[in-house]
Chains A and B, each alone.
Chain A
Amino acid sequence: MTEKLETDLRIARPDDFYEALIETHRGLSDEESRQLNARLILILANQVGDMDILTDALRLARGDAEPDS
């Protein structure tokens, strides 16, 4: 199976995750939140590892990719 960007849900408990995400930012200034998000992206990108998948993710986030391409 070739690795590709997963667009189906993989997070086991999405509401738990979303709450934790928002909660992580609690009490931070907008600037601090931006920094946190940047660090978070780098951490998750390293976890993903695969450059092809990362490239697809970058395109999707930028809004100029078809989700299944």
Chain B
Amino acid sequence: MAEVSVQQSYTYPKYPFRRPKALDDGAVERLPLVIVGGGVVGLSAALEFAGLGVETVVLDDDDTVSRGSRSICVSKRTLEIFDRSGVADRMVDKGVVWQRGRVYRGEREIYNFDLLPEEGHKMPAFINLQQYYVEEYLIDRITELGKTELRWRNAVTGIEILDAGGALLTVETPEGEYRIQADHVIAADGVRGAIRRAMGLAFTGRTFEERFLITDIRMTADFPMERRFWFEPSFHGGQSALLHRQPDSIFRVDLQLGPDADPVEEAKPERVIPRIRRMIGGELDFTLEWISVYTFTCRRIERFRHGPVFFVGDAAHVVSPFGARGGNGGIQDIDNLVWKLALVLKGEASDALLDSYDAERVPAADENILNSSRSTDFMTPKNQVSADFRQAVLSLSEQVPFARALVNSGRLSLPHHYAATPLTTLDRDHFEGRGPAPGSPAPDAPVAIDGESGWLLKQLGRRFVALCFAGGAGDGAGVATLTKELGRLHPFVESFVVVPDEAVNDKDGLVDTTGLAFERWGAAAGTVYLVRPDQHVAARWKSPPTIDEMRSALARSIGARTGSEGMAA
């Protein structure tokens, strides 16, 4: 990758290096948990742990946030995860909220899409917010919560897996080297992954030869909050182009350059300026912020858990940026891993639960890799026949709807639906395809709580929740009794009753003011969902489960062997 920083409007914070104690006492430092890498994914982990009351240490080899033109699109699911830590609102306020994408062929629009056509979700489909802001806000929130020690300029240079359990890390600082013995290590050290390399793990997949110019420009333009993608625009010699707005009057421009482009030459401002000029026309003034020429890969390591070491984010898997699945996918790794590790650290679940991180997130990474690879393939036809088919799809897409579905300018990040993993309980009842199936992320809906308007999703997460849908006022009582019993069963289960709007007198309930909660959850009176701490569905029943069914589902979802597999224990 060639990269040129032209002019930065953003002031990079500089976080202080503090001399670690172990440098002075020379002893091996003992820690239950270490996060290696304070990028967007490692920081998300620290934040989620802090929210669960778990103290962590983060080691980062740098002393600032992400540099250069990297992630901009933050997905709804990421915002929902961050909202649990109270940092999403700040991001949405600063970010550019968008949900519409337009796809052009030449200069003509062939279609547009709306990523969130329905109302009644707290979070928007996407915001655009530069990765440096996301990281800065995460660091601010982490610092406020006071559970995390962020050690800047602490680079991990070696790792040894110990037979007795845990791992020994070698850490290099500006003032010398020290060692940490950690029971668990989260490897969030990015695509170059020092830990992955030290452990000799193969990082396999595809490399795309195509080069892309990725630049951020600053201009004052009255440009709508939408994603614009061009196939074969005349302003760029028929290769594809993308324009996307960010905060601070910054725009992301992606231009396909072909496989033979010279990365160093193409990153020179005198080459870039005329390209941008042709794209945006003669009138607008602009300045360049960053220029990079990238090639992209789609790769992963085979397993994401190696004993005490858990690989997350780009350290585990990497994708091309079309679809915004890199950072968003990595944050879902954290969503999946952190509650499990927290339960194990607190002695509330056994080590077996941690294997499910691998079982659930490897298929998720494959889904992201598949989608990103297909988009990249569509943009860069490898031979005559794929060029012909693309041409055919594009020309038909102006006329007939079916062809639009084949046009691929990026399939934007959505949360993975965990299939029948070891943690999910298969449906006992028929939901006729409605509501989130076991393993799926919980859908949001507006609800009233004690007469105040709020959001259903905000009531979920961080612990197991039994969500009981009741028919009318007072009807919730029976279900509530059941779930209160459950609460006594397990200290980390809480229950809520969702009541229809007519039942506004039910003081204990979440009132479904719009009917959307019942609708999105495919619920009727008596429906019960057991929702995991990561807001994914563990189990569900159309009519209230017996306490044994509930107990068994809960045991399953914390990785305990239920003995009689899904039956009453």
Contact = CB atoms under 8 A, between A and B. Distances in A.
B391 to A, nearest CB: 12
Contact of B384 (A8, A14, A30): A30
| B371, B393, B405 interface centre (most CB from chain A within 10 Å) | B405
Contacts of A63: 395
A22 interface: yes
Contacts of B400: 7, 60, 67
A11 B374 contact: no
Contacts of A14: 402, 405-406
Nearest to B411: A15
Contacts of A7: 399-402
Given A15-B408, A15-B411, A6 B402 contact: yes
Interface string B358-389: 00000000000001001001100001111001
A9 interface: yes
A18 B374 contact: yes
Nearest to A8: B401
Contact of B405 (A11, A33, A60): A11
Interface in A1-55: 6-11, 14-15, 17-19, 21-22, 25, 28, 30, 33, 37
B406 A67 contact: no
A61 B216 CA distance: 40
Nearest to A37: B385
B399 A60 contact: yes
B373 to A, nearest CB: 9
Nearest to A5: B400
Nearest to A6: B402
B412 to A, nearest CB: 13
A28 B385 contact: yes
Contacts of A8: 401-402
A22 B383 CA distance: 10
A15 B370 CA distance: 10
Contacts of A11: 402, 405
B208 to A, nearest CB: 15
Contact of B386 (A9, A22, A60): A22
A15 B371 contact: yes
Contact of A22 (B385, B399, B411): B385
Interface residues of A, number: 21
Contacts of A9: 401-402, 404-405
Nearest to A21: B389
A61 to B, nearest CB: 8
A18 B385 CA distance: 12
A27 to B, nearest CB: 9
Given A8-B401, A18-B408, A33 B371 contact: no
A18 B402 contact: no
Given A15-B411, A67-B399, A67-B400, A25 B385 contact: yes
Contact of B385 (A17, A19, A30): A30
A8 B402 CA distance: 5
Contacts of B399: 7, 60, 67
Contacts of B395: 63
| B385, B396, B400 interface centre (most CB from chain A within 10 Å) | B385
A7 B396 CA distance: 10
Given A7-B401, A67-B399, A22 B389 contact: yes
A11 to B, nearest CB: 7
| A7, A22, A25, A37 interface centre (most CB from chain B within 10 Å) | A22
Contacts of B386: 22, 25
Given A14-B406, A15-B408, A25 B374 contact: no
Interface in B394-420: 395-396, 399-402, 404-406, 408, 411
Contacts of B384: 30, 33
Nearest to B373: A19
A44 B46 CA distance: 55
Nearest to A33: B385
A64 B402 CA distance: 18
Given A30-B385, A33-B385, A15 B374 contact: yes
Given A25-B386, A28-B385, A19 B374 contact: yes
Given A15-B411, A18-B408, A25-B385, A10 B402 contact: yes
Interface in B280-315: none
A15 B322 CA distance: 15
A28 to B, nearest CB: 7
Contacts of A60: 396, 399-400
B411 to A, nearest CB: 7
Closest 3 CB pairs of A and B: A7-B400, A33-B385, A9-B402
Interface of B: 371, 374, 377-378, 383-386, 389, 393, 395-396, 399-402, 404-406, 408, 411
9 contacts: A6-B402, A14-B405, A14-B406, A15-B406, A18-B378, A18-B406, A21-B389, A22-B386, A63-B395
Interface of A: 6-11, 14-15, 17-19, 21-22, 25, 28, 30, 33, 37, 60, 63, 67
Given A19-B377, A25-B383, A25-B385, 5 more contacts: A9-B405, A30-B384, A33-B385, A60-B396, A67-B399
